[in-house]
Amino acid sequence: RVVQRSSLSRERGEKAGDRGDRLERSERGGDRGDRLDRSRTPATKRSFSKEMEERSRERPSQPEGLRKAASLTEDRDRGRDAVKREATLPPVSPPKAALSEEELEKKSKAIIEEYLHLNDMKEAVQCVQELASPSLLFIFVRHGIESTLERSTIAREHMGRLLHQLLFAGHLSTAQYYQGLYEILELAEDMEIDIPHVWLYLAELVTPILQEGGIPMGELFREITKPLRPLGKAASLLLEILGLLCKSMGPKKVGTLWREAGLSWKEFLPEGQDVSAFVAEQKVEYTLGEESEAPGQRMLSSEELSRQLEKLLKEGSSNQRVFDWIEANLSEQQVASNTLVRALMTTVCYSAIIFETPLRVDVAVLKARAKLLQKYLCDEQ
């Protein structure tokens, strides 16, 4: 029995120890809970508002980050667009080297030969413009005059009209024109030995410059005679030019232009030469405002009249130039006749036809040439 009690007491002691241990652990757990409770800030109204403020401060940080990302994306897009634009732009060609005088003369020769062969004014003007050497175009002028001086009258007239068009369009300066012409005129007296009609040929090259948009008569005559006055040859060239002008517009109008330009024969004749005797001998009284015999006025056949009018229109002559030619070359009787009206009507209509398949009519040409017909038509006709 003693043995049992001792075993029971040991069991009870062990159980009591276990309970003590559990109580001790629970007390220690309670102490930890108290320490945690003490370390935790009580949830008061003040702490809650602070927490909300902190959250509100943190909240805008997200859009700012998004904005940075968006701006980076835009920068990348702009970079890609710039690269695309650079890729699509054509490469910039380096500027062309300026032509030497030898190179420009070679190109000028090719342009002039092609123009005289094809008579394509627009193409020739474009080719001269593409030379891109405005300070060297006197070479083109010089070669153009020199290469056509002994050719046909048509070649010289075409060359003169090309130079006029270059002046009119602003591709050729008057200074470059005069410089190129001077180089030929300085040798003209020596050329006269081998080319007896050199002054007429030069006149055919120079006269087109007097057309509308070219150089005024006073300036042109004074400038082109500068190298000729010391040689006593200024009047030789001017007489040929005036003769050509009288054929195209009549002596009366030529005389008016001479006087309006303030020109006088004293400027061009050697000192001491009798002006009155020279004027009478050369029959240029119209330059003094006096009536003189009108050269060239005669009765033309219908075929010859049509041929002359067709030539004028084919050359692109202005309506005023056609009027001047009629006045200079037809008598008053023929101007008032039905022959002129029929020839004009036929020529104008023919010039408006575009010879393609099918044939077409250029209405703009008819409208532009209507004034030619209106001047000589009347209700009765």
pLDDT tens, residue by residue, 51-109: 555 555 555 444 555 455 555 566 566 666 655 555 555 555 555 667 899 999 999 99
- DSSP letters for 37-73: HHHSPP--HHHHHHHHHHHHHHTTHHHHHHHHHHHHH
Give the pLDDT confidence score for residue 293 in this predicted structure. Answer: 46
Residue 145 has pLDDT above 70, yes or no: yes
* Distances in whole angstroms, Cα of residue 257 to Cα of each of 209, 245, 352: 14, 10, 32
Residue 381 has pLDDT above 50, yes or no: no
- Residue 297 CA to residue 328 CA, distance in Å, equals 7
Strand bridging mode 353-354 / 360-361: antiparallel
Q: Is the pTM of this model over 0.85?
A: no
- Residue 289 CA to residue 252 CA, distance in Å, equals 8
Residue 247 has pLDDT above 60, yes or no: yes
Give the pLDDT confidence score for residue 302 in this predicted structure. Answer: 83
Q: What is the mean pLDDT of residues 307-315?
A: 86
* Distances in whole angstroms, Cα of residue 292 to Cα of each of 235, 251, 273, 280, 287: 19, 8, 22, 10, 10
Residue 287 has pLDDT above 90, yes or no: yes
Is 294 or 323 the better-scoring residue by pLDDT?
A: 323
By percentage, how much of the chain surpasses pLDDT 70?
A: 71
What is the CB-side half-sphere exposure of residue 304 using CA atoms within 13 A? 8
φ, ψ for residue 94, nearest 5 deg: -65, 150
φ, ψ for residue 15, nearest 5 deg: -65, -45
The yes/no answer on whether domain 302-375 falls in CATH 1.25.40.180 is: yes
- Residue 200 CA to residue 153 CA, distance in Å, equals 10
DSSP 3-state of 298: coil
Position 256 confidence tier, pLDDT thresholds 50, 70, 90: very high
- Residue 47 CA to residue 43 CA, distance in Å, equals 6
Asked if residue 216 has a cis previous peptide bond (ω within 30° of 0), the answer is: no
Does an H or E element contain 345, and which? Answer: helix 338-351
Amino acid at 109: K
- Residue 74 CA to residue 379 CA, distance in Å, equals 77
Average pLDDT, the chain: 80
- Residue 111 CA to residue 137 CA, distance in Å, equals 13
By percentage, how much of the chain surpasses pLDDT 90?
A: 46
pLDDT tens, residue by residue, 168-224: 999 999 999 999 999 999 999 999 999 999 999 999 999 999 988 889 999 999 999
- Residue 108 CA to residue 137 CA, distance in Å, equals 9
pLDDT tens, residue by residue, 335-370: 888 888 888 889 989 888 888 888 888 888 888 888
Give the pLDDT confidence score for residue 22 in this predicted structure. Answer: 53
C-beta separation of 347 from 313 below 8 A:
yes
Kindly list the domain boundaries of the chain, sorted by start residue: 101-287, 302-375
pLDDT tens, residue by residue, 4-30: 444 444 555 554 555 555 545 555 555
Both structure tokens of 159: 């060359």
Do 101-287 and 302-375 come out as alike in CATH topology? yes
Residue 40 has pLDDT above 60, yes or no: no
Is 129 or 211 the better-scoring residue by pLDDT?
A: 129
Structural class in CATH, domain 101-287: mainly alpha
Both structure tokens of 217: 């008569």
